[in-house]
Chain A
């Protein structure tokens, strides 16, 4: 039930993000979801793409430091309180969300959120027990 996210280390310099997107475009990789966390000096770009192997190879080849992390893609009802319900389930169970971001496309009528947990198996089990739909990794890349 895990999806693989790639992350890229970026210095806070003008045009750096555009270089990453250019490399991915060149390699014919489609970005499915993206989030940038930054400090005044550096940033970490997190990406869900349609072809991890190609993306990682292309970025490494251009000298970027690239990491891979397992994340969870969760369907969220696209209505007031949809996200809150999920966060509440996690909070009640004492499961910490390291970070999260939204997916570009929808799954049916639902929004999709990417969650990064420290204890991923526990989180997935909990969500499924509460009838929250966790999307398969292979599905996520091609949604």
Chain B
């Protein structure tokens, strides 16, 4: 269902006029209110007046995660603190956390966009939403929550963890929509299995999964195991949280970016050149309606491409393809770029191989080695060692054929690879560089 017909299906020409108007207003505000941006403009000898078309956007320098960290905690805020009603922060697993703020209007904008997203993913006000995204500083839980309420659906704020209780709630409350990270969705299906609960007897119709990269094969796996239609949602706290882009259940082919609020660009990571539609590179966002924490040309580190083709759902907003990796997840192994998601695709294309894997990178005698640990489930287990060794060889060969990198494949016992309740640990890099 399209919640906001006016904006979501607006003809491109009208949409672009609104985008430009909103961009200019945002630039005026940040130039006046955020010392970091003012300095960026001054160092490049530009003022907001120099940006007269969407083409001109590329004259403005990028904003990076490091810039946000340098201004920790509130240095990038564009309004006085007494106008900020909410603060979220990224987990900070790779350094200092990133802090973001919201005015009352920002919270309302975000809820609107999340309501649009849930509707695009199949939810209506009749639905019960089982929200297994974590509540707290992470934007996932509260983002979905406010959107669900705005939509008028019934939301169960179950948050992450305590999986057995979640299965009981699913049985007893009969939720029809599941929102979770894709790895947690699979974890739920495993635990349900262990408890003898079949998703066929639950009421789920749609699942809205995001907050970590996943693959088309993983979608098929989730849809089959959880008996629902799975769509991809995208967002990051620096931009607003979940609800930046959503796949429509009609097409399930790329995520519509809400362009009336966010301008996407794809750039070549090393040079920063803007790439045309269809080419793969790093996704960059400029927010054009946010008040407390606007970002200008923020480098997300997510790797994807943009698709301007009209969509059968009727939305006119450009689609981003599934995020295929992150510039900082990218492993360079003996000169070859390797994304964990590529390994996942290789595994999922092999019948019966479970998508539970971990990449371990070591450096032995100045040579990088890649070990891929794959869990042995019942479907691939054999009482004959030679069959298991054949399987190891076949996986290694497929990785070599597909990625051009040699890997040692190590079969592992089920659940021996760390399965976090939120994001899966896919890479262990032991190299001391």
- For chain A, residues 24 to 59, give those with C-beta under 8 angstroms from any C-beta of chain B: 37-39, 41-44, 46
Q: Is the CB of B385 within 8 A of A65?
A: no
Q: A87-110, CB under 8 A of B: which get 1 and which 0?
A: 000000000001100000000000
Pick from A5, A38, A69: contact of B385, CB below 8 A.
Answer: A38
Q: A5-B383, A65-B414, A116-B383 are in contact. Are A44 and B388 (CB under 8 A)?
A: yes
Q: Is the CB of B416 within 8 A of A11?
A: yes
Q: Is the CB of A9 within 8 A of B384?
A: no
A interface, over-half SS: strand
Q: Is the CB of B413 within 8 A of A63?
A: yes
In the complex, what residues of B have CB within 8 A of residue A42's CB? 376, 388, 410-411
Q: A61-73, CB under 8 A of B: which get 1 and which 0?
A: 0011111010000
Bound: A9/B411 CA distance, A: 9
Q: B392-417, CB under 8 A of A: which get 1 and which 0?
A: 00000000000000000011111110
In the complex, what residues of A have CB within 8 A of residue B384's CB? 44, 98-99, 116
Q: Is the CB of B385 within 8 A of A39?
A: yes
Residue of B nearest to A67 (CB): B381
In the complex, what residues of B have CB within 8 A of residue A99's CB? 384
Bound: A67/B377 CA distance, A: 10
Bound: A7/B384 CA distance, A: 9
Say yes or no for A83: interface residue by CB 8 A criterion: no
* A77 shortest CB reach to chain B, Å: 27
Bound: A17/B71 CA distance, A: 54
Say yes or no for A132: interface residue by CB 8 A criterion: no
* A35 shortest CB reach to chain B, Å: 10
Say yes or no for A10: interface residue by CB 8 A criterion: yes
Say yes or no for B378: interface residue by CB 8 A criterion: yes
Say yes or no for B327: interface residue by CB 8 A criterion: no
Q: Is the CB of A65 within 8 A of B378?
A: yes
Q: Is the CB of B388 within 8 A of A65?
A: no
In the complex, what residues of A have CB within 8 A of residue B413's CB? 9-11, 63-65
* A114 shortest CB reach to chain B, Å: 11
Bound: A69/B385 CA distance, A: 13
Q: Is the CB of B414 within 8 A of A64?
A: yes
In the complex, what residues of A have CB within 8 A of residue B412's CB? 11
* B353 shortest CB reach to chain A, Å: 13
What are 23 sample pairs from A and B whose C-beta atoms fall under 8 A apart? A5-B383, A7-B383, A9-B376, A9-B388, A10-B413, A11-B416, A39-B385, A39-B389, A41-B410, A43-B385, A44-B382, A44-B383, A44-B388, A46-B383, A63-B414, A65-B376, A65-B378, A65-B414, A66-B381, A67-B381, A67-B383, A99-B384, A116-B383
Which residues of B are at the interface with A, using a C-beta cutoff of 8 A?
A: 376-378, 381-385, 388-389, 410-416
Q: Contacts A41-B411, A42-B376, A67-B378 known; list 7 others, CB within 8 Å.
A: A9-B376, A9-B388, A11-B412, A44-B385, A65-B414, A66-B378, A116-B383
